[in-house]
Amino acid sequence: MKVSQLAFVQSVVVLSFILVSCSEVRELPKGDPDNGGLFLPENFEAIVVVDSLEGRARHIAVNDNGDIYVKSRFSKPDGRNVALRDTDGDGKANVIEKFGKYEKERSYGTAMRIHEGYLYFSSELIVYRYKLSPGKLVPVSELEEIVVDDHDHGMHEHIAKPIAFDDNGHLYVPYGAPSNACQEVNRTPAVPGIDPCPQLEQHGGVWRFDANKKGQTQKDGVEYSTGIRSVVAMDWNPSDNNLYLVMHGRDDLLRLWASIYTPWQSAVLPAEEFIKVTEGSDFGWPYCYYDQIQEKKVLAPEYGGDGNVIGRCDQFEKPLIGFPGHWAPNDLLFYQGEQFPSRYKQGAFVAFHGSTNRAPYPQSGYFIGFIPFENGKPTGEWEVFADGFAEVDPIVNVSDAVYRPMGIATGPDGSLYVSDTEKGKIWRIFFKGDKDDFSKENLAKMESRKNLSHLRTPDKVEDNLEKGVVAGGEKIFSVYCATCHQKDGKGASGRFPPLTGTDWVTGDKKRLIGIVLNGMQGSIVVNGETYINAMPQHGFLSDDEIANVLTYIRQNFGNRASEVKPDEVRRFRKETEGAKKL
């Protein structure tokens, strides 16, 4: 045989081996004895793919060969993404490689999708992509910038960049609202909203782009929908060729409008809205919010609402489902696999990352929900598909939750993958029963979990964690501070800084008084971690109340600092007011 013929035969043999290997259908692995700590419907099992990742994890994508791509939560510029591979078929990742060198990112990125042979992902400001190469775990192609958010984001909120693709070459990207409710001064008690809200010109909606064009900015896109405050969970439903998302509802009903709302209302309202987004649709932010208890869209207090008045809100689109407030829907996936029972086909999975601001009531969410569809429409019900992430109930502080579900993806065999932000854990969930013998009866145990405090609507009296709280600084902290900084003072990673072991609390009293009186916008570094959010002004509190709460903070949570006296607050308030007049 000639050398050229021998080389050709060898190439054919190698190619055949690769094709056979790629098309090989592996048997499902054996689930972990405790399903990795998860509670699942009957005949579902779970295995922990990786127990922890150094940079933790946000969103994930799974390639046709089973390789997993992870958007890191925290990482250095040369390893903002992670690739995982299972080479022996036991369901556990035994190859872990970091990749992705890019500088333009703050504390997190919010997207990871595979589309038309490309790996798309995002930082807070840029949608990137790599061309994937067959057989290679880590992309070797040049990193491309597809959409660049070129706005000034010094103090902006809600700048996550989830993505979705339709079947016509389009990419959908939201531009979140840069404030809570378009107030004249953001997150300030009893301050009205600007009417009409100018932020809606370039924010608070979803824009459509060319999925294959590099270097686009917002002006290159088309505004597709508006009135949408904040989006992290978004997906395209190929069954009806429509975009869907779950919107984060507004915050601070009690802190900003204590004369209108009770602590209980502020904990459970407003809804996280599951919506079908069509071109030209308007969902009413900032003028309105959806009250899932009354099942109606009502006027926001910034625009004259009192929690009941509908006003102009009858002209805006309503959600398909209103989930309880502050559950933090952070990923959405329409299931297209064949492995699960048919009732899951075309339905939608939602990853609820869990609340941080439900005090004085327990935190809620922290599970994977499922929305059944029938005849192309949601039934209006929702189910608990996977639970047990938090490992505790009730969840008093967000830091009590051991794991918090974040990203969801489908593997080539129809398995469902779930990522966690707190440790960087990833689960793979699969079905091993008879698909034709699966009914609602198999969900009874999961339905009963809705009685747990992190899933049920809290009782106004019995679930109130303020019971037994004494008056003074502790009481003020519980009402106005624990909502964000948590009852234990440990805050919430990336959003609300801790009050423990930091000079921001135990150091300069004038600086601390100024933050409480005047609020604070933008990013802040506490104990080496960057936090991006807005600290509302609390100048409506009296000098005595501010002194009491700051003394409580400076002498609790392991802090041992001197008290703050009412006269100190009074003097600083006068100095501040005098400076404003000048």
pLDDT tens-digit readout, 142-187:
999 999 999 887 657 898 999 999 999 999 999 999 999 999 989 8
**The pLDDT of residue 329 is above 70:** yes
Q: Which residue has the higher pLDDT, 381 or 579?
A: 381
Lowest-confidence region among 5-19, 218-232, 424-438, 551-565? 5-19
Residue 502, φ and ψ in degrees, nearest 5: -135, 140
3-state SS assignment for residue 287: coil
* Range in 22-36, 317-331, 389-403, 434-448 the model is least confident about: 22-36
User: Cβ contacts of residue 517 below 8 Å, gap of 6+?
Assistant: 537, 538, 539, 546, 569, 572, 573, 576
Cα atoms in the 13 Å half-sphere on the side-chain side of 418 = 34
Average pLDDT over residues 292-297: 98
Cα(229)–Cα(272) distance, rounded to whole angstroms?
11
Q: What is the pLDDT of residue 545?
A: 87
Element holding 266 (H helix, E strand): helix 263-268
The dihedral sign for the CA sequence 6, 10, 16, 19 = negative
Q: Structure tokens of 345?
A: 């086909």
* Better pLDDT: 384 or 477: 384
What DSSP state is assigned to residue 480?
Answer: I
Q: How far is CA 388 from the centre of its chain?
A: 18
Burial class of 212 by CB neighbour count within 10 A (0 to 12, 13 to 18, 19+): middle
Whole-structure pTM value: 0.87
Looking at residue 338, what DSSP letter applies? S
Distance CA 179, CA 476 (A): 25
Distance CA 331, CA 404 (A): 12
Domain 22-451 matching CATH 2.120.10.30: the answer reads yes
Mean pLDDT to the nearest integer, 124-152: 95
Q: Of 337, 482, 332, nearest to 407 (Cα)?
A: 332
CA–CA distance, 495 with 152 (Å, rounded to integer): 19
First vs last C-alpha separation in the chain: 96
Look at domain 473-581 and name its CATH class: mainly alpha
pLDDT (tens digit per residue) in 11-39? 444 444 444 444 445 699 999 999 999 99
Task: For residue 522, report the phi and psi dihedrals to the nearest 5 degrees.
Answer: 90, -160
Indicate if 473-581 has the same CATH topology as 22-451. Answer: no
Q: In the prediction, which pLDDT does 495 show? A: 78
What is the maximum alpha-carbon separation in the chain?
99
**Residue 470, pLDDT score:** 62
Express each pLDDT in 440-478 by its tens digit: 899 999 999 999 999 999 999 999 988 776 668 888 887
Q: Residues, the chain, total? A: 582
Per-residue pLDDT, averaged over 369-375, amounts to 96
61 token code pair: 């994508």
Here the tokens at position 258 are: 């204590």
- 3-state DSSP call for residue 441? helix
pLDDT at 525 over 90: no
152 or 49, higher pLDDT: 49
Res 280: pLDDT: 98
pLDDT at 5 over 80: no
Question: What distance in Å separates the CA atoms of residue 174 and residue 240, rounded to the nearest whole number?
Answer: 21
Task: Specify the pLDDT at position 15.
Answer: 44
Angstrom distance (rounded) from CA 36 to CA 44: 12
In the chain, domain spans: 22-451, 473-581
